Amino acid sequence: MTEARFITLEGIEGAGKTTVADRLTQALRARGLTVHATREPGGTKVAEGIRSLVLNRGEEHISATAETLLMFGARQIHIDNLIRPSLTRGEWVLCDRFTDATHAYQGGGRGVDRSLIERLANAVHGDLQPDVTLLLDVPVRVGLERMQARRGAVDRFEIESSQFFERVRNRYLELAQAQPQRFRVIDASVRLDEVCSAAIAAVEEALQLPPGRA
């Protein structure tokens, strides 16, 4: 049996994570692997409830610190109820965003102290890190144009300025540069099909899987 693996996807809004997650999940399942595709904040009933609280635009102010704590609260519940049990059973987990998103959005975007995020990450999942993280990197202008082209409600992050997303993107790139063994940076400005193929190839290379057919 192939050892369980924990894969995360990161990037700014409009990078294509949702589509890439779907394609990557299909490609891994085509190898006979059991793969749980999940997301943060969210992934379980209670954590999805926290997601609604933190993403929906309401009247009450949510400070950057409160936002950080909510992200880690949802994460702890997600890890305890879905991520860890799946990995223990030998099943793979593919998660759309994880703690790198807190570093990028709350740390880079909102200016939350890096040491607070690191302490919370240690407390919540010190012994659990992704095996590989795909950073779908796209210029902010391109990501925001894609996001705006989509119809639907705008959440608490999507109303932020392009300067906010520049800080988020820069923090992601810093994280990737600091941990090249875990991160694979994918150019997400090209056609979606090419992004998906590059993502699948990067996972195969990082986890030393023989090339598949998908």
Binding site for ligand T5A (CB under 6 A): 11, 13-19, 39-41, 55, 71, 96-97, 101-102, 105-106, 146-147, 150, 157, 188, 191-192, 195
102 versus 133: smaller Cβ distance to ligand T5A = 102
Smallest separation (angstroms) from ligand T5A to the CB of 148: 10
18 and 196 Cβ atoms separated by less than 8 Å? no
17 versus 167: smaller Cβ distance to ligand T5A = 17
Smallest separation (angstroms) from ligand T5A to the CB of 18: 4
89 versus 141: smaller Cβ distance to ligand T5A = 141
Total residues belonging to the chain: 214
Smallest separation (angstroms) from ligand T5A to the CB of 184: 16
Smallest separation (angstroms) from ligand T5A to the CB of 211: 22
97 versus 167: smaller Cβ distance to ligand T5A = 97
Which of 121, 130, 163, 117 has its CA nearest to residue 144?
163
68 versus 86: smaller Cβ distance to ligand T5A = 68
Smallest separation (angstroms) from ligand T5A to the CB of 55: 6
64 and 120 Cβ atoms separated by less than 8 Å? no
